[in-house]
Amino acid sequence: MDSGRSVLSSIVASQIDTHRKYGGVVPELASREHLRSIVPVVDEAMLMAGVGWNDLAAVAVTQGPGLIGSLLVGITYAKAIHFAHGIPLIGVNHLEGHIHAVVLEHPETELPAIALIVSGGHTQLYHVRGNFEYELIAKTRDDAAGEAYDKVGKLLGYPYPAGPILDKLALHGDPRAVKFTRAHMKGNPLDFSFSGLKTAVLRWTEANDISEETAARRAAGADADWLSLTPKRTLDLIASFQHTVIRELLSRLHVLTEAHDAKSIIITGGVACNAGLRAAAGTARLPVPVFFPTPGLSTDNAAMIAAAAFSKLRRREFADLSMKPKASLAL
Ligand code: KG4
Ligand code: ZN
């Protein structure tokens, strides 16, 4: 990143092929893949940006939250760069990175803002004050939204990650065909819950025998023509599932914007790629502008971590060799 504003290069190593055969991320394999990729990825990023170590003002790395083994690989390598080249080290919260992915592309994002972070690991609402201070307003009690997509997809025989596949199929079904009841929350009524929805889909698969079509999908390759392998009633189920998730994700934004006098809404994380969510946010008549990152910056990437690090660089908020990975680092 140059000056926290322009991305000089963005290299992302995907591990999806490794995890697909297990139907989800296997932590052990994730750290092994990180170890395998980190040196070539950093080298390529430096090459594409046309910079050497001496050009760097700092090296930023995710401190957490995340899988401890993967965090450890990144932190150890960043510390090595810091130590060997005498470059300041900055630890960044992964979720702050997701928020900065939006601010990076939309400098017009006005604070205070309401931020919805939706990914495979997180579903959280934050109040982002001026000065980028964060207050957690609500979170999921169980599954994250992306996790719900992936688990429902797995149940129906689609490969990991099923989110993008279900998103495309949802266009071809009737979103009102299957009625799902809303989860009622004890405690914080703004919290999310997606495990009940996943169970409701499971009950639907038991009531409508779909074992044959599911088996056909499981036998198909990762790049199969999913539409031709999905009968109408299943398309209707998928559209109804997606409709329910989107309704949940968007339903709290209006009141929260008003309650916190927010000037903008930020929606970010892997699930922010969802075309249905983007379209629904556009027609939801939210009282302030809604900003999404482009798909390349919605899913995990290093540019957003560097962008989030820039204000820390200006404040000279540096870490040292004692920095430790934190699996559940609060924002
Ligand atoms: O942010 P991300 O790359 O990694 C995490 O930190 O989790 O998000 C990945 C998640 C996966 O669960 C994936 O299924 C979901 O984002 N995802 C989507 C879509 N694209 C990615 N979910 C729904 N619709 C999509 N288009
Ligand atoms: Zn993420």
DSSP string, 84-148: HH---EEEEEHHHHHHHHHHHH-TTPPSSEEEEEESSS-EEEEEEEGGGEEEEEEEBSS--HHHH
Confirm or reject: Cβ of 164 under 6 Å from ligand 1. Answer: yes
The answer to whether the CB of 173 falls within 8 A of the CB of 165 is: no
Confidence of residue 175 (pLDDT cuts 50, 70, 90): very high
Tell whether 120 and 224 lie within a shared domain: yes
Cα(132) to ligand 1 centroid in Å equals 25
pLDDT in tens, 284-314: 999 999 999 999 899 999 999 999 999 999 9
Tell whether 84 and 128 lie within a shared domain: no
Tell whether 86 and 166 lie within a shared domain: no
Tokens of 210: 């779909």
Tell whether 176 and 118 lie within a shared domain: yes
Alpha carbon distance 27, 329 (integer Å) = 18
Q: Please state, for a pLDDT cut of 70, what percent of the chain lies above it.
A: 100
Mean pLDDT of 250-261: 97
Question: Residue 102: exposed, middle, or buried by beta-carbon count in 10 A (0-12, 13-18, 19+)?
Answer: buried
Tell whether 133 and 272 lie within a shared domain: yes
In DSSP notation, 180-203 reads -PPPPPSS-TT-B--HHHHHHHHH
Tell whether 73 and 125 lie within a shared domain: no
pLDDT of residue 182: 82
Pairing state between β 290-291 and 264-268: parallel
Q: Closest Cα to residue 121, out of 82, 65, 163, 161?
A: 65
Q: Which atom of ligand 1 is nearest to the CA of 121?
A: 7
Confirm or reject: Cβ of 271 under 6 Å from ligand 1. Answer: yes
Pairing state between β 264-268 and 113-118: parallel
pLDDT of residue 303: 96
Tell whether 4 and 147 lie within a shared domain: no
Q: Is the pLDDT of residue 23 over 90?
A: no
Q: Is the pLDDT of residue 4 over 90?
A: no
Mean pLDDT of 114-118: 98
Count: domains in the chain: 2
Pairing state between β 133-139 and 113-118: unpaired
Mean pLDDT of 65-86: 97
Confidence of residue 51 (pLDDT cuts 50, 70, 90): very high
The answer to whether the CB of 81 falls within 8 A of the CB of 46 is: no
Alpha carbon distance 156, 205 (integer Å) = 8
By three-state DSSP, how is residue 149 classified? helix
pLDDT in tens, 197-214: 999 999 999 999 999 999
Q: Which CATH number goes with the domain that contains 276?
A: 3.30.420.40
pLDDT of residue 185: 80
pLDDT of residue 183: 79
Confirm or reject: Cβ of 270 under 6 Å from ligand 1. Answer: yes
* Nearest protein CA to atom 10 of ligand 1, as residue: 120
pLDDT in tens, 118-174: 999 999 999 999 989 999 999 999 999 999 999 999 999 999 999 999 999 999 999
- Point out the least confidently predicted range of 20-24, 109-113, 212-216, 233-237: 20-24
Tell whether 103 and 198 lie within a shared domain: no
Tell whether 221 and 140 lie within a shared domain: yes
pLDDT of residue 125: 98
What separation in angstroms does the CA of 297 have from each of 19, 116, 302, 306? 21, 15, 9, 12
Q: Is the pLDDT of residue 5 over 90?
A: no
Q: Which atom of ligand 1 is nearest to the CA of 275?
A: 26
Q: For a ligand 1 pocket test, name from 271, 294, 305, 331 the mutation site with the most ligand atoms within 8 angstroms of its C-beta.
A: 271
Confidence of residue 186 (pLDDT cuts 50, 70, 90): confident
Q: What is the residue range of 87's domain? A: 1-109+296-331
Q: Which atom of ligand 1 is nearest to the CA of 120?
A: 7
Tell whether 258 and 302 lie within a shared domain: no
Tokens of 76: 């150890």
Cα(208) to ligand 2 centroid in Å equals 35
Tell whether 149 and 78 lie within a shared domain: no
Q: Is the pLDDT of residue 3 over 90?
A: no
By three-state DSSP, how is residue 279 classified? helix
By three-state DSSP, how is residue 268 classified? strand
Q: Is the pLDDT of residue 188 over 90?
A: yes
Amino acid letter, residue 261: D
Tell whether 133 and 234 lie within a shared domain: yes
Q: Is the pLDDT of residue 328 over 90?
A: yes
| Closest ligand to the CA of 25 | 1
Number of other residues whose CB lies within 10 A of the CB of residue 90: 26
pLDDT in tens, 271-281: 999 999 999 99
Confidence of residue 262 (pLDDT cuts 50, 70, 90): very high
Q: What is the DSSP letter of 282?
A: H
Confidence of residue 329 (pLDDT cuts 50, 70, 90): very high
Q: Output the average pLDDT for the chain.
A: 96
